[in-house]
Amino acid sequence: MSKSSLKQTLKDLDTKKISIRELNQDYLKRIKENENLNVFIHFSEDNVLKQIDNLENDNSAKKLKGIPIAIKDLFCTKSMPTTAASKILENFNPTYESFVTQKLLDEGSIFVGKTNLDEFAMGSATNTSFFGNTINPLSKENEPLAPGGSSGGSAAAVAADLCLGATGTDTGGSIRQPASFCGVVGIKPTYGLCSRWGIAAFASSLDQAGIFSHNVEDASILLQSIAGFDQRDSTSAKVDIPNYFENLDDDLNGKTVGIPKEYSIDGTPMEISQIWEDAIKVLEKKGVKIKNISLPHTKYALPTYYIIAPAEASSNLARYDGVKYGFRSDEINSLDEMYENTRAQGFGREVKRRILIGTYVLSAGYYDAYYLKAQKVRKLIADDFNKAFKECDFIVTPTAPSAAFPLNEKQNDPIKMYLNDVFTVPASLAGLPGISIPFGKDKNNLPLGIQILGKHFDEQQVFNAAVSLERSYE
């Protein structure tokens, strides 16, 4: 495991122990040595060198000046193409910068490249990308493992130390699950904390930007940099963003942790139940009160998600029609034929599957039975959490029901793949902040993750619990 640290690097840059150029050349070298992992959809050494030149001529003080950051290729960037890992956005050059990436640029960070993902963030293994699989850097030779998904490229970029932090998006677990698979830290903040402006939309009531990093301190620094109100996203929240890093406090004495009984599910490997118990024991030793809680509608979260997310996707992805940008089919004898062939040839199998499901559950005669029903169950799931948080300060669960699995496993059974998100989806439906931190290994020495959930906009409590667990584990 790498011991890189953004916090330490900022100090080293500050004391001139290392220059911005030296730092980034070190990263460029590693990126080139690890091309076989297929972490990046877009990488250009010249582009990185140009950014270094610009920063060297810039005398202003900036919080992340010279820090190499990888960007999930779902964020629109003016300096690099944006594909959402889809053929339909091949050769798309955004005319604007996403809110989150603009914030990172304003802080002086260097974008090393655009990372691979599941097509339009739909998947849990980064294996639906038009640009091929990403390989988990923790794979043993001859046995390539999936990095998780959808933000698998970003998680792998941090795990292989190809950057000091990366952006991701999380709709049902797309940051937390790959973080767990790759042994890195991944945080999805509260819905509304970071503007969605400039992120290719998947399911708008669930999509949220977040951060991958080498440790919890770094995550707290980076999340603060990308959070904030933005009037161009109507669901962006007008809340004060605390200095998460300055306020980090690993003293949890007197706090209460909720342990939801519904997260003990049949078929979960022993090792995962074990690390969960270990985490609870560590917290107990720190003076945290253990409270058994119930989230009774947990088992309905996945089917609810797999109605709501495809429904919203079918609407959001209607814009890809071959008219304004991206791919257009050659077989275009009429306007309708142009749409139908463009979308047939431009979208991959999982994306089409979700558009079709979404169109069905929204169609006349089925809307109430599926979509409305799912929105009502979603309310019950959110209420479960609201009740639980009256009795506890944060909730601790495993992040994923398994360690990283071999590439291409579960490919042919969509439902089996969807079950990867069993522990992450409920908090997504409720819009809650959640972090995954590495905590223990399985029998093959692969990392396992612990998930910490907090109340709306209580990222500070999530970071505090995470840093406390992390420090006791190291």
Which residues sit at the interface with other proteins, rule CB under 8 A? 91-93, 95, 191-192, 205, 229, 231, 234-235, 237-239, 297, 299-300, 303-304, 306-307, 314, 318, 321-328, 332-341, 343-344, 347, 352-353, 355-357, 359-360, 363, 370, 372-380, 382, 414-415, 429-431, 456-457
CA distance 126 to 348: 13
Respond yes or no on whether the N-terminal peptide bond of residue 150 is cis (omega within 30° of 0): yes
| C-beta separation of 38 from 133 below 8 A | yes
Which of 160, 430 has the CB closer to other proteins? 430
Q: How far is the CB of 105 from other proteins (least distance, A)?
A: 18
Which of 176, 286 has the CB closer to other proteins? 176
Answer left, alpha or beta for residue 134, where phi above 0 means left and psi between -120 and 50 means alpha.
Answer: beta
Q: How far is the CB of 233 from other proteins (least distance, A)?
A: 10
Q: Please, which residues have CB within 8 angstroms of residue 182's CB and are 6 or more apart in sequence?
A: 136, 137, 138, 147, 148, 152, 155, 156, 158, 159, 404, 447
Q: How far is the CB of 426 from other proteins (least distance, A)?
A: 12
| C-beta separation of 201 from 232 below 8 A | no
| 72 counts as catalytic | yes
Both structure tokens of 176? 């937390």
Choosing from 86, 98, 124, 150, the catalytic residue is 150
Choosing from 86, 129, 174, 402, the catalytic residue is 174
Number of other CB atoms surrounding residue 326 within 10 Å? 20
Q: How far is the CB of 68 from other proteins (least distance, A)?
A: 28
| C-beta separation of 433 from 458 below 8 A | yes
Which of 173, 183 has the CB closer to other proteins? 173
| C-beta separation of 110 from 51 below 8 A | yes
Q: How far is the CB of 350 from other proteins (least distance, A)?
A: 10
According to DSSP, residue 186 is labeled E
Distance in angstroms between the alpha carbons of the first and the last residue of the chain? 12
Backbone angles phi, psi at 289, to 5 degrees: -80, 130
CA distance 344 to 88: 10
Which of 99, 439 has the CB closer to other proteins? 99
Which of 214, 354 has the CB closer to other proteins? 354
Which of 191, 245 has the CB closer to other proteins? 191
Q: How far is the CB of 102 from other proteins (least distance, A)?
A: 15
| Residues catalogued as catalytic | 72, 150, 174
